[in-house]
Amino acid sequence: MPEQPKPAETPARQNVTFPSAGATAHGYLAVPPSGRGPGVLLVQEWWGLTDHIAEVADRLAAEGFVVLAPDLYGGSVAHDAEEARRMMRALPVARGVELLAGAVGHLLSLPEVTSASAGAVGFCMGGGFVLYLAAVEPRVSAAVPFYGVIRDELPDFSRLRAHILGHYGERDRSITPQRVEELRETIHRQSGLCPDFRMYPAGHAFFNDHRPTHHPEAASDAWHSTITFLHDHLDPRP
């Protein structure tokens, strides 16, 4: 897992509420300059809905996407690794997936969204949730886990229909290259789809420019391939 974040992190970034999983959920919504675009769900790291995640949402919006980042922690942001671990463990995987599925429904209902399906991008804990979500949610057609940590047993990928582009660090001790290869083989065996998992000469959280583990070259390569991938696989509504 990543190291302790900057202590000056502000509270969770929220600017929108929406119904999800029988409750009122909160999140951060970013809309492109054109006012319309394909829908992308952005899933937080174990720290919460931080400034970094809001910044990534804004960057995706600048690339033409309507982006919704749900707040899975209900407004809380962790300030050290132990707190982040407790908060992550307090969120059952099934409940997280339920909340994210509701967020997908809300995202695709927005008049600003031009795609018939959604993309899903997530980091660390959020990368794992992207894989869990794609395994059960047919409305997700493009899934991008960044160093996704699978907390529990692997999901059943037999119903997977989404294209997958994954970004992983060769020096990541949270999810090693061996585990990435095992995940690739499991997805291929169960779904018939072969995920595009890419390895970078970096460690965990290499994309997060708020972190000392940030690797600018790897982050840039992963970002540009993600933007192309999302545009390629998010078809417009008929």
Q: What single string gives the DSSP state of each residue in 138-158?
A: TTEEEEEEES----SSPP-GG
Instruction: Give the mean model confidence (pLDDT) for residues 195-219.
Output: 96
What pLDDT score does 195 carry? 97
Percent of the chain surpassing pLDDT 90: 86
Residue 3 has pLDDT above 50, yes or no: no
Residue 55 has pLDDT above 70, yes or no: yes
Instruction: Give the mean model confidence (pLDDT) for residues 11-38.
Output: 91
Instruction: Give the mean model confidence (pLDDT) for residues 25-30.
Output: 96
Helix, strand or coil, per DSSP, at residue 128:
helix
Least confident segment among 30-39, 50-59, 72-81: 72-81
Instruction: Give the mean model confidence (pLDDT) for residues 88-97.
Output: 94
What pLDDT score does 9 carry? 47
Average per-residue pLDDT for the chain: 93
Least confident segment among 5-14, 16-25, 121-130, 215-224: 5-14
What pLDDT score does 21 carry? 82
What pLDDT score does 153 carry? 86
Terminal Cα-to-Cα distance of the chain (whole angstroms):
42
CB 133 within 8 A of CB 95: no
Query: What order do you get walking across the sheet with 66-70 strand by strand?
Result: 16-20, 23-30, 66-70, 37-43, 113-123, 140-146, 163-169, 196-200
CB 192 within 8 A of CB 207: no
pTM: 0.93
Report d(CA 61, CA 34) in Å as an integer: 10
What pLDDT score does 8 carry? 40
Q: How many CB atoms lie within 10 A of CB 54?
A: 21
Residue 97 has pLDDT above 60, yes or no: yes
> To the nearest 5 percent, what fractions of the chain are helix, strand and coil?
35, 25, 40
Report d(CA 227, CA 49) in Å as an integer: 21
22 phi-psi bin (left φ>0, alpha ψ -120 to 50, beta other): left
What pLDDT score does 7 carry? 38
What pLDDT score does 10 carry? 52
What pLDDT score does 29 carry? 97
